[in-house]
Structure 1
């Protein structure tokens, strides 16, 4: 049940069976559906939609008018920009081949999984099923149609990797011997292959 002490605006529509942490904030005209789980310190912006059973980890920010359809799963610290869409139907149709209206039993929902610290820029569309890796960054207006590696910077339609980002969100600078460095924090990373970047201990 939604926490009575949570900061839920009077115009928000939060289902009785939704779980909203007391420190979370749900703003004007947002909708949180049945069995959704909103973690500590989360922000659900104006007009955002959180689908049935969607899991939102602690410290996430879901900005205005984002549409997070079930069965999406967001790990802690995820940023979902304004008007982002997470789809859930691979073969969308309003009707069956015989012309009858589709019901819930006529299709299978598939979800988007977003790992810790990742950010999805404004008006991006994530076409389920796919996974966005930890600390990855999806540029605004991108259409994501395949999995995104950890720390990857992807942009475009379809989204392609154009670089790497660190935990601070800044593009990494290429060093010698497959090494990369964050210009803000100095954290070092090693590129293992075209789709794999790992953090290394700074000496």
Structure 2
């Protein structure tokens, strides 16, 4: 099947459409366009909820610039969205707790088999804090930082953090946050 990414974005320019409506525009069966829709959603160009698809800000920008949208690898720019990776599990735990530290997450989620879990979770928590998902609490007994999840920001899907590109993407809202490195943030302040 040929890649129909740009055609789908053009179809969504006038507003949200159902999967079957997009398929009709392309002259294909609904099952034949779901792969393209999934790829566009993973790239943050469309937001798809229960068979209704609409452009995100990134999708509108891609459409206005006319840049080529390929179906191939994202060159390291796609964040993992597995439901059972360490960050997804941590997100679910954060939703249950009133306050937590990285040590709490490690204790609850790790059995020692994970590779560099502390660095992974620390990076994720700092990205969530920088994007406004976490509120800082007073340090615990150990003097280590603690946070709580801001309930108004807590969607079902965990925000996907791509450390290589420094982008945190919320697939619940379609928002993407560029997170500066600590030293970049200090210089900007």
Q: TM-score, normalised by structure 1?
A: 0.25
* Structure number with higher strand proportion: 1
* Structure number with higher helix proportion: 2
Highest RCO, 1 vs 2 (Cα 8 Å, sep ≥ 6)? 2
Q: TM-score, normalised by structure 2?
A: 0.26
